[in-house]
Every structure is written in structure tokens, then in C-alpha cells.
Structure 1
Amino acid sequence: MNENVRLTAWVRGRVQGVGFRWWTRETALRIGGMSGYTGNLEDGRVQVVAEGPRDRCELLLDWLREGDTPGRVDGVTEIWGVPRGGYQRFEIR
């Protein structure tokens, strides 16, 4: 069963000021079926929150870890949870 989930991921590396948030949003939109956001954190990481079918969120997580991203990804930490809702689309914050 492919239930809806909430993925929260923190991406570390050289991921600010290189188009990483734009790339993440475009990737999420291309995969489709998800809502949420991507935003910079003060400590230099990028946070990604995605809600939707688990298989689509897993695809996005795979892209964050292994895709041809702008900048340089040194690592990704994620947690999974229950969707909270409140997102109309996938956006950059």
C-alpha cells in the first residue's frame, strides 16, 4: 500500500547560493503528486518538507542523495511522519 507520508530532510554541503532550492522544487514538480517546500536554514543546510505518496517522496529523497544536484551534497538526514497538510503546492521559502 502506498500511503501518504511526510518526509522532512536536511541536506548539508554546499547547497545554498547555488540554485539548490530551485532544483529541488523543479524535481518535486516533475515527480508530481507532492506538496511542501524547500528552504534555507541559518546553519547552511537546506530543509525539504514533502507530503504525498511514499513512493514519490522516496524518489525525491533519492534525487537529493544521488541526483545531479547543483552545488555539493555531503549528506542527507531524514525523518518520516504523518502528513500535516496545509500545503497547496511545492514551493520555495
Structure 2
Amino acid sequence: MPAIARHLMILGRVQGVFYRNWTVETARSLGLTGWVRNRMDGSVEALVQGNADAVARFITLAQDGPPAAKVARIEAMDVPVEALNSFEKKPTA
């Protein structure tokens, strides 16, 4: 099955609640590659890519995130798959 990629903007109470660490752990457990970072506007941005079922499962789980998070909404956009080998946390943008 070919890989797919989604660029996500996660909005709500998602900074200061371990959302990025949760994202890395969850994405890796699903076999996804990509990255996650905080944005200066208080949102979290991520690129998730891999098997379509795993990407869909990640997005479903991301609606809740870690226990202290309060996700208002997730904006997802199809993007080209990048040549990435892992899932990492990037600096704030």
C-alpha cells in the first residue's frame, strides 16, 4: 500500500500539555514518519505520513491527544510524501 501524507494544524489547548511528546510516541507506535512542532500562535503543527489506515488512526487519536489537552479542531491537508525515516520533534516556528 502506498504511503500518504497529511499536514496537520492542531488547535485548542495543545501547548504546555505534552502534546508534542504524545504525538511522537503515538506516531512512532503506528509506524508513521514525520515531525511535530509548536507554533508561535499556540497551535501545534505536524506532518504525518505512512500507511493510510495508520494516518487516519493517528488523526482520530489526535482529536483527544494527551489527558491535559483540549483539542478544538484539526485542519488536515493532503501533501506530497517526503523522504523521512523517523518521527521527530522540531523547534517552534
Give the TM-score taking structure 1 as reference length: 0.87
Distance 1:75 1:68, change over 3 A: same
Q: Which residue of 2 aligns with 1:89?
A: 86
Q: Which residue of 2 aligns with 1:31?
A: 30
* Structure 1 spans left out of the alignment, 5+ residues: none
Residue 23 of structure 2 contacts residue 65 of structure 2 at CA under 8 Å; is this kept in 1? no
Query: Deviation per CA, 1:6-52, whole angstroms, max 9, x where unpaired?
Result: 111100011111100000111111112x1111100111100010111
| CA-CA distance at 1:79 after TM superposition | 0.5
Q: Which residue of 2 aligns with 1:19?
A: 18
Query: Deviation per CA, 1:37-86, whole angstroms, max 9, x where unpaired?
Result: 1100111100010111111111111111145543211110000122022x
Which runs of at least 4 in structure 1 moved beyond 3 Å after TM superposition?
A: 66-70
Q: Number of residue pairs matched?
A: 90
* Structure 2 spans left out of the alignment, 5+ residues: none
Look up the equivalent residue of 1:49 and give its one-letter code: L
Q: CA RMSD in A?
A: 1.5
Identity %: 27
Give the TM-score taking structure 2 as reference length: 0.87
